[in-house]
Structure 1
Amino acid sequence: MNIKTVRETAREKLKGYCRVCPECNGKACAGEVPGMGGMGTGASFKNNVEALAAFRLNLRTLHSVKKPDTKCKLFGQELSTPILAAPITGNNFNMGGALNEEEWAEAIIQGCLTEGSLGCTGDAPDPAMYNTGAGVVAKAQGRGIPFIKPRELDEVPKYLRRAEEAGAVAVGMDIDAAGLVTIAVGPKTKEEMKTIISSTSLPFIIKGIMTVDEAIIAIEAGAAGIVVSNHGGRVLDHTPGTAEVVSEIVAIVDGRIPVIVDGGVRSGTDVLKMLALGADAVLIGRPLVIAAYGGGAEGVALAIRRMTKELKQAMLLTGCATLDDINLNVLS
């Protein structure tokens, strides 16, 4: 199996939902929600890609780095790479249904495990979709992170219990899905988040932080980690790209909890840029949709392995021996 074969297979299986463009930049699929596009004009999706592309890397080769190390630790887990799979679900209405929810979750979780990473599973209007993902995490001895939509407060506990039963390493909520109209969801106050977070024994991750003030709220509510994300540009048109805001959020968090970021990451050099901006790890979405549809778990593993190799090469050529060495000096 190779990347070319994976992409060709994915293009056939995703026909009408994702064009598997040479450059995944949100231009061809603008407004295609449901589907794989960005909301409205697609500006938020495009901003993610363009903001990251605007950064340049400083080439350095007069140093002692020979074999860069991409290992990291996240939520008590020793990982071989800081590249994780984002929580995605809704195969039937977003991706055409060539994979069912269990096949999708298996591809993501097992592909990530093969490469020493972690995969996330998602939530959708039908609770069975969340439960299917959590079940796959359970079969993987808990090596995965289920994410819950910002459901009504009295609904959330049963979803938390399912994650706990699965033995998940952590659980999260993609608060950036608060505007969806297909499910009873909505924004949460700090007190509501405190109630949710205090009702589980698992580390709790809040995904969808795009401002400094909400990063502070997340910490005060007890979050064990945050994800800087605009939901892949799929919920609100004309937001900044995540690469534009992650540094100021990292600064205010000041190491108290991990800061993960997603949005527009397409290569190992993109990963390096996000880490240089201060992120502890990245989540990958659309590229792993293509990988899973084109090659199942093997395709996902191949994509993560390729990006990790690219990250190592970029570290070698910027003088970074470990992830801790990656900082703003890498960027031009």
Structure 2
Amino acid sequence: MNINEVRKIAKEKMKGYCRVCPVCNGVACAGEVPGMGGSLTGSAFKSNIEDLNKVKVRLKTIHEAKEPNLDFNFFDIKLDAPIISAPITGTEFNMGGALSEDEYIDSVVNGSLTAGTIAMIGDSAVPELYDSGIDALRKVHGKGVAIIKPKKNEVVIEALRKAENINAIAAGMDIDGAGLVTMALKGTPVGPKTVEELKEIISSTNLPFILKGIMTKEEALLAVEVGAKAIVVSNHGGRVLDHAQSTAKVLPEIAEAVKGKIMILVDGGIRTGVDVFKMIALGADGILIGRPIVIGAFGGYREGVSLTIQDMRNQLLQTMILTGAKDLTSINKSMISIEW
């Protein structure tokens, strides 16, 4: 099986929910939420792609970086690349149901491990879906991350206990899910969190806590203040707020404010290993990928996910060779130019 075969199968299985476009840029699926598109006009989804495309890579080939090291330290776990599968649930609601939730989660968790990295499991309005993710992580001895929606504090803390019980690597909250249409349709209350509410949640667990959905330097600094160990710069794939800024655009300012104080992850519009390189050069430590992983799972189950990640890793390796980056910490702003 190869990537082209994976995409062909996924396109058939996801018909009516995702077109598996040659370029996944949010244009054809604008406003398709539920579905795989961006909110309303799809502007935020499209901006993620457009702004990342405005970052150009500077080609250099007179150097000693012949065999770059892609190892990524994630809370003392060595990953083979700085690429992590993003937390996604709702295969029936958003993706057509050709894969069951259990099949999807199994594919992502195990496919990621085969590729030398890990997956984050997600949460939804249906508690059983989070439990399915927890069960999938249990079967691999906790090698993954549990991400919880911004529900009431007591519900979040109960979900954290489940992650602790399976010895998950870390846990966290996609706080940008505060206004998710899909959650509202299912009758599950979610919403913003105060500093005090976050402190209560984070102090309740012994797991490293990740705040996903940080889009300003002010909130990045608050994440440090409340005791989070990592943030994900994310606009939820453009699915929650139309005309939100792109992740590539806000990342440099956030990195300038908190780099070295907290781990910085980012998602949004990352489609290739070159995109991974760009995001690290803009200030990220590592990245999450979402829609490409969905396509990989639907097109080839575990193998499709693994192929997707391995393909991206190989592209990142080649980019590092052609820019003179000997390891991830060597990637910096001098290796890119920004056209915005």
Return the TM-score normalized by structure 2: 0.97
What's the offset of the Cα at 1:128? Answer: 0.2
2:323 is aligned with 1:318: yes
Assess if the C-alpha contact under 8 Å between 2:174 and 2:212 holds in 1: yes
- After TM superposition, the structure 1 = structure 2 runs for residues 269-308 of structure 1, keeping only pairs within 5 Å, are 269-308=274-313
Contact 2:152 2:189 in 1 (8 A): yes
Q: Match of 1:60?
A: 60
Q: Secondary structure at the match of 2:153?
A: coil
Residue-by-residue CA offset, 1:185-225 (whole Å, 9 max, x unaligned): 00000110000000011000000000011011111111010
- Any gaps of 5 or more consecutive residues in structure 2? none
Q: Residues of 2 paired with 1:209 and 1:165: CA distance?
A: 27
Give 1:254 deviation, angstroms: 2.8
Q: What does residue 21 of structure 2 align with?
A: 21
Alignment match, 2:154: 154
1:189 corresponding residue in structure 2: 194
* 1:75 shift after superposition: 1.4
User: 1:6 is aligned with what amino acid?
Assistant: V
Query: How far does the alpha carbon of each residue in 1:268-293 deviate from its partner, in whole angstroms, 9 at most, with x for none?
Result: 00000000011000000001100000
Q: One-letter code of the match for 2:327?
A: T
Corresponding residue SS for 1:20: coil
Structure 1: tracts of 5 or more residues without a match? none
Maintained 8 Å contact 2:259/2:283: no
Query: Hey, what's the Cα distance between the residues in 2 that align with 1:123 and 1:319?
Result: 40
> Distance in 2 between the 1:98 and 1:158 partners?
31
Q: Structure 2: how far apart are the matches of 1:152 and 1:302?
A: 38
Deviation at 1:76, TM superposition (A): 1.6
1:239 and 2:212 aligned: no
- Describe how 1:16-55 pairs up with structure 2 within 5 A: 16-55=16-55
Give the counterpart letter for 1:121 in structure 2.
Answer: I
**What letter corresponds to residue 316 of structure 2 in structure 1?**
L
Aligned length, in residue pairs: 332
Match of residue 124 from structure 1: 124
SS in structure 1 of the partner of residue 73 of structure 2:
strand
Which 4+ residue blocks in structure 1 deviate beyond 6 angstroms?
none
Query: The residue matched to 2:262 in structure 1 has which SS?
Result: coil
1:122 Cα offset (Å):
0.5
CA distance in 1, matches of 2:134, 2:280: 29
In 1, the alpha carbon distance for the partners of 2:36 and 2:165 equals 31
Secondary structure at 1:155 match in 2: helix
The equivalences for 1:172-211 within 5 A come to 172-180=172-180, 181-182=184-185, 183-211=188-216
Cα displacement (A) at 1:93: 0.6
Rounded to whole Å, the distance in 1 between the matches of 2:56 and 2:78 is 30
**How many angstroms apart in 1 are the aligned matches of 2:20 and 2:259?**
38
User: Quick one: which amino acid aligns to residue 316 of structure 1?
Assistant: I
Q: Secondary structure at the match of 1:178?
A: helix
> In 1, distance between residues paired with 2:259 and 2:330?
17
After superposition, residues 66-105 of structure 1 pair within 5 angstroms as 66-105=66-105
Q: SS at 1:123's partner residue?
A: coil
2: CA distance, partners of 1:102 / 1:48: 30
Alignment partner of 1:265 is 2:270: yes
Distance 1:96 1:172 in 2: 27
Q: Does 1:144 align with 2:149?
A: no
Q: In structure 2, what is the Cα distance between the partners aligned to 1:11 and 1:167?
A: 36
Kept in 1, the 8 Å contact 2:26–2:37? The answer is yes
User: Shift of residue 301 of structure 1?
Assistant: 0.5
Q: Distance in 1 between matches of 2:266 and 2:15?
A: 28
CA distance in 1, matches of 2:302, 2:293: 10
Alignment of 1:109 with 2:114, yes or no, is: no
Q: Contact 2:111–2:306 at 8 Å: present in 1 too?
A: yes
Cα offset for 1:115? Answer: 1.4
Equivalent position SS for 1:56 = strand
Deviations 1:263-317 (A, max 9, x none): 0000000000000011000000001100000001111000100000000000000
C-alpha distance in structure 2 between counterparts of 1:49 and 1:304, whole Å: 19
Distance in 1 (CA, whole Å) between partners of 2:329 and 2:41 is: 38
* Aligned AA (2:95): M
